[in-house]
Structure 1
Amino acid sequence: MKLGLRAAVFAAALSCSSAVHANDYLSIGSCPVTCTAYTWSAGIADVINRNVDGVEATAEETKGYVANIALMQNGELEASMATSLSAYEAWAGTGNYAGTEPGKILSWMSIAPVAMHIITVEGSGVSSVADLKGKRIGMGQPGGVSMLDADVLMTKVAGEDFEPFRVRLGDMVDMLSDGNIDAALWNGSFPLAPVIKLAATRDLKLIPVDDAFFADLQAAYPPYFRLSIPDDTYEGVAGDVPTYGLANGLVISADVPEDRVYAMTKAVFENLDALAGVHPAFGKMSKETVLDGFGSPLHPGALRYYREIGVPGIEEFVTRTGG
């Protein structure tokens, strides 16, 4: 299946691979071409094409992660970038995907974590998660996964007792700086460039998430996992800031044959050094991180390879996810 737009990155390598007369297509949904997930998808497609006979992989430009899941459910993509919460809800047919057919989309590999940033400035009146209740909150733009995570957080904290502003991160940062909102929520890989900009002009605060709140949140949304934004990631924010996040990674259709997924997974893991030259996130990816954040079952082909290389906790993961 093809959406029509081939990956611009690695175009020469991909055209060479077509000479192999591949008979299986693998379209990998990503996001607009300027975003990181497109670069990741293009790098992975290139590695697959160079190392797996009989597959022609392409990175497809899409509107983003929410659109990717819908395209997979409609059979227009075989794989896509997604957050692990979206992957879990799509597999289970719950949450934002209630009413859709469950079990069609399986976990594949975690690439990098995204961390929930609860962003504010001195004088906002927000010093804890509980303080978000009744405040003016930047939530992220409609259609973005960060807005969905913000909705989960604010529903837990405040029900409907807050004023939402559903705009992009850059606009939220400007509104914070101007005093037009009290806090902003964004689930993303750190450091976030707009937040670096804010810290250069205002006294930035990142609000920590305590253990009790996180435990309650994770009980309802299993893919969330504990992590911290490290000390001095942002100017003026000293010490690690405890928060939570999701995996930013790949999901794959249950319809893709097991042997194909096994071969593709093996190709990616045996070429992580080369992929690190495409994007540094691959340099931090390993068998210790590949399951991070996933709450839905692995594709059998990926599971076979992860067992083969001895991914830590793989049997516990299988028991926990039921697959």
Structure 2
Amino acid sequence: MTRKIVALLVVVLFAAAFVAGCGGSSNTGGQSSGGQKFINIATGGTAGTYFPLGGALAEIWNKNIPGANATAQSTGASVANVNLLKDGKAEVIFVQNDIAYYAYNGTEMFKNNKYEDIRGLATLYPETIQIVTTANTGIKSIHDLKGKRVAVGAAGSGTEANARQILEAAGITYNDIQVQYLSFAEAANNLKDGNVDVAFVTAGFPTAAIRDIAAQHKIVLIPLDDKTVENLISKYPFYTKTVIPANTYSGQTEDVTAVSVKSMLAVSSKLDEELAYQMLKTMYENRDRLIAAHEQSGKQILPETGKEGMSIPLHPGAEKYFKEIGK
């Protein structure tokens, strides 16, 4: 009997040790028994902006947060990242604020896949919806798109939602245009070849692919009138009015009124509050590393604008940080 009791105690102790060794769940920062905080950062494609900034964040957090073990992962960007966060496969994600809004509210591509536990860490920099055509089309305003071949983005993409909502605000439906569901790379090539008339592009400006088109053709950026902008923002408050300055692209001699969504960092509501606070604090204290990773976008990542365009509830750790700096 005594031997059986001893054997049972050994099994119980072994099981307890095994459970302790497994560490916490990923959405609480992945903290292990050794005090390590595993932080998987879901970014985007390796050629985009999210990936280098994610690598810079990993470096910042590993150097400045005790026990941090952060890595940046290349992904399919915003929509894919929300699903990675929801499934506990990422602790921090890059995402557009409109996509985060859709996920939290269960609309658009998240209509049957609502994710109410998503929380905002900070907004970063604007991603502008640029509506580009070539001069030979004669298109000068959003209302001229009726009857035209319009590349609205890949089906189910954030760009496609942007295009549809902007057209709606201008009183145009997909029945009024010849819809082309093309990724921007496809749209750019088709625009150069004359196979489409207009392309919607959601990206920080200047965008390399638009510069490439401008090197071969005289381009026109289609401005949005005040009424369209007002209609859009009143219905979809995650948009902000933006001016694309003259000479951003070759041949563009005047400022162009556009709208932007914001790139942002999002986390799960389950993420440890102190860890979220430290992530935000150290990010802003080491902006030079973000600028080194991507100068144009890094310069726009500022604590004073970190809540602008926030489309979902803030994480408590982020609330603590912004309250501390008076924002």
TM-score, normalization by structure 2:
0.84
- Residue 132 (structure 1) aligns with: 145
Give deviations 1:24-62, integer Å, cap 9, x for gaps: 322111112232211111111111111112332221121
Tell me if the contact between 1:93 and 1:100 (Cα under 8 Å) persists in the aligned partners.
yes
Q: Distance in 1 between matches of 2:213 and 2:134?
A: 9
* Alignment match of 1:301 (pick from 276, 299, 317): 317
Find the residue that maps to 1:227 and give its secondary structure.
strand
Q: Tell which structure's C-alpha radius of gyration is larger.
A: 2
Residues 168 and 93 of structure 1: CA distance in aligned 2, closer, same or farther (over 3 Å)? closer
- Residue 12 (structure 2) aligns with: none
Q: Distance in 1 between matches of 2:213 and 2:45?
A: 25
Code of the aligned partner of 2:103: A
How many equivalent pairs are there?
296
Code of the aligned partner of 2:321: Y
* Alignment match of 1:229 (pick from 244, 257, 267): 244
Code of the aligned partner of 1:158: I
* Alignment match of 1:286 (pick from 276, 293, 302): 302
- Residue 272 (structure 2) aligns with: 257
- Residue 6 (structure 2) aligns with: none
Code of the aligned partner of 2:312: S
- Residue 161 (structure 2) aligns with: 148
Code of the aligned partner of 1:277: A
Code of the aligned partner of 2:319: L
Superposed counterparts of 1:1-323, under 5 Å: 21-142=34-155, 144-156=157-169, 157-161=171-175, 162-280=177-295, 281-311=297-327
Q: Distance in 2 between matches of 1:122 and 1:275?
A: 37
Give the Å deviation of 1:234. Answer: 0.5
Q: Distance in 2 between matches of 1:220 and 1:70?
A: 26
Find the residue that maps to 1:158 and give its secondary structure.
coil
How much is the aligned-residue C-alpha RMSD, in angstroms? 2.2
**Any unmatched runs of 5+ in structure 1?**
3-17, 312-323
Larger CA deviation: 131-140 vs 260-269: 131-140
Find the residue that maps to 1:284 and give its secondary structure.
coil
Residues 202 and 101 of structure 1: CA distance in aligned 2, closer, same or farther (over 3 Å)? closer
Q: Distance in 2 between matches of 1:170 and 1:26?
A: 31
Give the Å deviation of 1:264. Answer: 1.0
Q: Distance in 2 between matches of 1:262 and 1:154?
A: 39
- Residue 12 (structure 1) aligns with: none
Q: Distance in 2 between matches of 1:144 and 1:94?
A: 13
**Any unmatched runs of 5+ in structure 2?**
1-24
Code of the aligned partner of 1:278: A
Tell me if the contact between 2:56 and 2:289 (Cα under 8 Å) persists in the aligned partners.
no
Give deviations 1:276-322, integer Å, cap 9, x for gaps: 222212223212221232221111101110111122xxxxxxxxxxx
Tell me if the contact between 1:228 and 1:240 (Cα under 8 Å) persists in the aligned partners.
yes
Tell me if the contact between 1:105 and 1:251 (Cα under 8 Å) persists in the aligned partners.
yes
TM-score, normalization by structure 1:
0.85
Larger CA deviation: 20-29 vs 163-172: 20-29
Tell me if the contact between 1:65 and 1:144 (Cα under 8 Å) persists in the aligned partners.
no
Code of the aligned partner of 1:240: D
Residues 250 and 188 of structure 1: CA distance in aligned 2, closer, same or farther (over 3 Å)? same
Percent same amino acid at aligned positions? 29
Find the residue that maps to 2:209 and give its secondary structure.
helix
Q: Distance in 2 between matches of 1:89 and 1:62?
A: 19
Residues 189 and 249 of structure 1: CA distance in aligned 2, closer, same or farther (over 3 Å)? same
